[in-house]
A and B are shown apart, each in its own frame.
Chain A
C-alpha cells in the first residue's frame, strides 16, 4: 500500500530564513508527487507537482521541491520565507491511475517576524 509521511508536525522559522519541509513516500513504482498549501479556512492550493523528468521542480510563490528516488523523498524548499507563507503544507502521492491522492498528515508552518 502506498503512504506519505511528513515527519514534522510543526515548524517555526523566522521571516527571511530558508525553509525545508520533509516528505517521504512509500510506493512500488515512480509516483506522481504533489505539494499543496492550505491557509486557514481555505481549500488546498497546488504549489507544484512532479511527474517525471527533471527531479527539481519549480512551483508558485517561490517554492521548489526535489525528487530523490534513492531516499523516497520529495522535500519542499524555499530560500527566503515570507510571513504570508504561514500555513499548513501537505505532501501527496498519486499512483499511476491517479484516481485518488494519498496525503501526508501535514506540516504546520509558523513564521516569526
Chain B
C-alpha cells in the first residue's frame, strides 16, 4: 500500500487478556520494526524483521511479547496476559533494506489495559 497501515487504531482490553496488533508495511519494504511509545516518552525498540532472516528480538520486554511476520508482508505483535504497564502506543515502521534510509511509520495502535 501507499503507507504503513496498523490496526486497530485503538484497543481497550482487560488486564490478563491477550491482544494482537497488526501491521501492513509498504509493499516492497523488506525491513519491518515494532516500537513502543509510553506516554511522555520516546520510542523503545521491540523487534526487527529483515526479509527471511531470523528476527532481532532483543527489545522485547518479556516473554509475554511475541511477533511474527510472513515473508515480507504483514506482521502481528501479540501480547499475552496483558498488564497495565503494557498500555502504550505501539508503532510499526518499514524501510527498504536497513533503517539507514529512514523508516516510514504507521500511525500506531493505542493500547489501553484496564
Contact = CB atoms under 8 A, between A and B. Distances in A.
Interface of A: 4, 32, 34, 36, 41-46, 49, 51, 90, 92, 94, 97-106
Contacts of B33: 100
B99 A98 contact: yes
A94 B91 contact: no
Chain B CB within 10 Å, residue with most, of A44, A45, A46: A44
B4 A43 contact: yes
B53 to A, nearest CB: 10
Contacts, number: 59
Given A43-B91, A46-B103, A97 B98 contact: yes
A34 to B, nearest CB: 6
Contacts of A44: 43, 91, 93, 103, 105
A92 B35 CA distance: 13
A3 B37 CA distance: 16
Interface in B44-96: 44-45, 48, 50, 56, 59, 91, 93
Contacts of B25: none
Contact of A101 (B41, B103, B104, B108): B103
A101 B105 contact: no
A106 B108 CA distance: 17
B48 A42 contact: no
